């Protein structure tokens, strides 16, 4: 048994302990795996930079719902063999989301196995009748999807009319003998199978909805993924799944991130503010030279001072303990659809080694190549807000430049935080026809039973099912958190937290850097004056799009 990132591994799934950061967005995203809305609903969560797509079905009877499309897309993208690199999900535990997608897929697979048996016994053996009924429901579904109100009435009339013809066919059989009895069975067996399938679908739908509601209610329901735990050395599929989950956790801890122009640093959000202090390196004593030092010396001093941010002279709460890390930032194009993580002897388990980080900090300050940033990050509002302040130090000729930038990643879209609502509709009262009343609808209607039964035999052949019914295409480069993150500036207190963090961080950075300069014989008069002016300017910080240059 191992413990990683605040999660206890027990029989495969990892369940967040109470008090861990990132529970709200983690559970909100995980709940999407259990939802039964239309797949197109997820398009409402598209942001300015990251857009999902739902393919149009060739046959509407085989279209997936939101939970089916989301689960399959997450599993394929995050656990598929030879998958592309992922973007870190700050403030979220992506492994938990993936495990819930696996659990939801497993529940549906068990349902589909039962439905497949129903289809064989009541459908395949009576194929002519099954095909006729499926054709009727396909036409009915196509008509009902139209905006015209009369289309719904015509769709219902079609089903009633076909049912009447079926009864007439049973009573006035045009032939006799074996084929007469087979024809009767071909008409009745799919109907009997539909009632059987309805019971199976309703039982599964209740289970999925309970899990959806439990996740959003904070009950921390665990994801059951027994197939992720090999019970013997010969279970290669389980071992591969276990390794894929371990790889996912390792990549989440990587210290390599990607800067995508106006999109900002992927996973951290766009850059909303930037403050630069740049002055010449002149000796404090004209008769003596400056003691040699490197950018890393300044960064190291800043790092040590940032660790004291949670301490203050007054007992007023203040900053919680931040995460302070050295990041290697790789530039990619604004419209890049994939990223490539650093490789080689300087990288181990997705982590750029310390000596390579120092070398990049000291040498790669101009021209092509990766850059070094020191980051101080807070995960607030139970993971819904991620504030990141990045610091970089460069020395070109005789000019030392210290840049502090602010990044903020907002809450997940409200689509993911909606609880399951009872299925009902308003109808006119029979006597007081000017008034309406709400009528409860079945959890799984007749069209949904037919859709699930038709899809069930094909769930073991995903490519064919994708071709017939369409699938969810995730935005690339993909990361669970930033793909569906909303802007924090619409929430007053979240915006305040992001803006308030800038001033103390900027002052700590400047004071630590100036102290290093003084120790190495540098005249800090200009640095002090510039720092004071920046300290005044940052108090009027307003969020903007710092990566959109007006040029």
Place of tokens 């656990």: 79
Q: Which residue has the tokens 């990223």?
A: 339
Domain hosting 72: range is 3-120+206-251+423-443+460-483
Task: Please give the Cα distance from 216 to 449 (Å, whole number).
Answer: 27
Question: How many CA atoms are closer than 13 Å to the CA of 362, on its beta-carbon side?
Answer: 12
Specify if 31 maps to a domain: yes
Question: Considering the domain boundaries, does residue 9 fall inside one?
Answer: yes
Considering its fold, how many domains does the chain have in total? 3
For 48, counting Cβ atoms within 10 Å of its Cβ (0-12 exposed, 13-18 middle, 19+ buried), the class is: exposed
On whether residue 454 sits in a domain, the answer given is no
Q: Provide φ and ψ at 280, rounded to 5°.
A: -75, 150
In terms of Cβ atoms closer than 10 Å to its own Cβ (0-12, 13-18, 19+), residue 85 is: middle
For the chain, counts of helices (H) and of strands (E): 14, 15
In a domain, 468, yes or no: yes
Domain boundary among 163, 198, 233: 198
Are 66 and 150 in the same domain? no
Q: Which of 179, 198, 217 is the last residue of a domain?
A: 198
Residue 391: both structure tokens together:
């610091």
pLDDT of residue 165: 61
Choose one of 156, 172, 198: the last residue of a domain.
198
Are 381 and 494 in a shared domain? yes
User: Same structural domain for residues 276 and 401?
Assistant: yes
Q: Are 321 and 222 in contact (CB under 8 A)?
A: no
Q: Are residues 527 and 438 in the same domain?
A: no
Residues 156 and 237 in one domain: no
The pLDDT of residue 19 is 37
The verdict on 151 and 300 lying in the same domain is: no
- Asked, for residue 35, whether it belongs to a domain, the answer is yes
Same domain, 284 and 381: yes
**Are 393 and 491 contained in the same domain?**
yes
Q: Are residues 303 and 360 in the same domain?
A: yes
Predicted pLDDT at 433: 66
Residues 287 and 335 in one domain: yes
- Determine, yes or no, domain membership for 37: yes
The rounded Cα 363 to chain-centroid distance in angstroms is 36
**The pLDDT of residue 436:** 76
Site of tokens 């276990």? 242
Q: Are 337 and 433 contained in the same domain?
A: no
Does some domain include residue 414?
Answer: no
Per-residue confidence in pLDDT tens, the chain, 551 aa: 333 333 333 334 444 433 345 688 999 999 999 999 999 999 999 988 889 999 999 888 899 999 999 999 999 999 988 889 999 999 999 999 999 999 999 999 999 999 998 888 776 766 676 777 677 766 666 665 555 555 555 655 655 666 666 665 555 666 666 556 666 667 667 777 778 888 999 999 999 999 999 999 877 666 777 666 666 666 677 888 888 899 999 999 999 999 998 888 999 988 998 899 888 888 888 878 888 889 999 999 999 999 988 887 777 778 889 999 999 999 998 888 899 998 889 999 899 999 999 999 999 888 888 999 999 999 999 889 999 999 999 998 888 999 999 999 999 999 999 998 887 777 777 666 667 777 777 888 878 888 898 899 899 899 999 999 999 999 999 999 999 998 888 888 999 999 988 889 999 999 999 999 999 888 888 888 888 888 777 777 677 787 777 65
Predicted pLDDT at 232? 62
520's CB contacts (< 8 A; 6+ apart) are 290, 291, 292, 293, 297
Give yes or no: residues 185 and 212 share one domain. no
- pLDDT at position 167: 62
548 found inside a domain: no
Spatial strand order of the sheet with 14-16 comes to 3-4, 7-9, 14-16
CA distance 425 to 441: 7
């Amino acid at each position: 048994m191992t413990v990683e990132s605040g999660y206890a591994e027990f029989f495969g799934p990892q369940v967040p302990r109470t008090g861990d950061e990132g529970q709200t967005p983690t559970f909100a995203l995980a709940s999407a795996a259990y939802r039964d809305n239309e797949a197109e609903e997820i398009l409402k969560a598209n942001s300015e930079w990251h857009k999902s797509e739902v393919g149009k079905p060739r046959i509407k009877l085989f279209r997936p719902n939101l939970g089916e499309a989301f689960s399959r897309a997450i599993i394929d993208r995050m656990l598929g063999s030879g998958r592309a690199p992922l973007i870190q999900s700050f403030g979220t535990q992506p492994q938990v989301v993936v495990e819930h997608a696996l659990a939801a897929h497993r529940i549906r697979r068990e349902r589909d196995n039962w439905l497949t048996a129903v289809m064989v016994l009541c459908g395949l053996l009576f194929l002519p009748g099954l095909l006729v009924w499926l054709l009727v429901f396909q036409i009915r579904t196509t008509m009902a999807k139209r905006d015209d109100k009369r289309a719904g009435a015509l769709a219902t009339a079609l089903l009633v009319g076909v049912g009447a013809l079926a009864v007439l066919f049973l009573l006035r059989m045009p032939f006799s003998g074996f084929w007469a009895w087979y024809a009767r069975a071909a008409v009745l067996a799919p109907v009997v199978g539909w009632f059987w399938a309805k019971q199976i679908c309703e039982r599964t739908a209740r289970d999925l909805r309970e899990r959806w509601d439990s996740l959003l209610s904070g009950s921390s329901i665990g994801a059951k993924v027994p197939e992720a735990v090999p019970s013997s050395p010969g279970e290669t599929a389980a071992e591969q799944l276990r390794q894929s989950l371990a790889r996912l956790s390792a990549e989440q801890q990587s210290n390599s991130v990607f800067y995508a122009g106006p999109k900002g640093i992927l996973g951290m959000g766009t850059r909303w503010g930037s403050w630069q202090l740049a002055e010449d390196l002149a000796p404090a004593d004209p008769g003596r030279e400056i003691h040699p030092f490197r950018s890393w010396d300044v960064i190291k001093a800043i790092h040590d001072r940032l660790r004291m941010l949670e301490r203050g002279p007054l007992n007023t709460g203040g900053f919680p303990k931040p995460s302070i890390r050295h990041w290697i930032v790789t530039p990619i194009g604004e419209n890049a659809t994939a990223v490539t993580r650093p490789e080689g002897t300087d990288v181990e388990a997705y982590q750029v080694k310390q000596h390579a980080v120092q070398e990049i900090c000291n040498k790669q300050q101009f021209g092509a190549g990766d850059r070094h940033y020191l980051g101080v990050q807070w995960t607030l509002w139970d993971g819904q807000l991620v504030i990141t302040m990045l610091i970089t130090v460069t020395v070109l000729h005789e000019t030392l430049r210290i840049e502090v930038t602010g990044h903020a990643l907002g809450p997940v879209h409200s689509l993911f935080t909606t609880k399951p609502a009872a299925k009902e509709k308003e109808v006119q009262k029979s006597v007081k026809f000017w008034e309406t009343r709400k009528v409860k609808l079945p959890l799984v209607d007749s069209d949904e039973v037919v859709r699930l039964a038709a899809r069930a035999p094909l769930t073991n052949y995903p490519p064919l099912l994708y071709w017939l019914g369409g699938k969810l295409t995730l935005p690339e480069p993909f990361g669970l958190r930033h793909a569906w993150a909303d802007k924090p500036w619409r929430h007053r207190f979240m915006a305040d937290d992001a803006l308030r963090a800038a001033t103390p961080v900027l002052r700590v950075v400047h004071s630590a850097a100036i102290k290093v300069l003084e120790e190495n014989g540098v005249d800090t008069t200009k640095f002090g004056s510039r720092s004071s002016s920046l300290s005044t300017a940052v108090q009027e910080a307003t969020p903007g799009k710092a990566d959109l240059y007006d040029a």
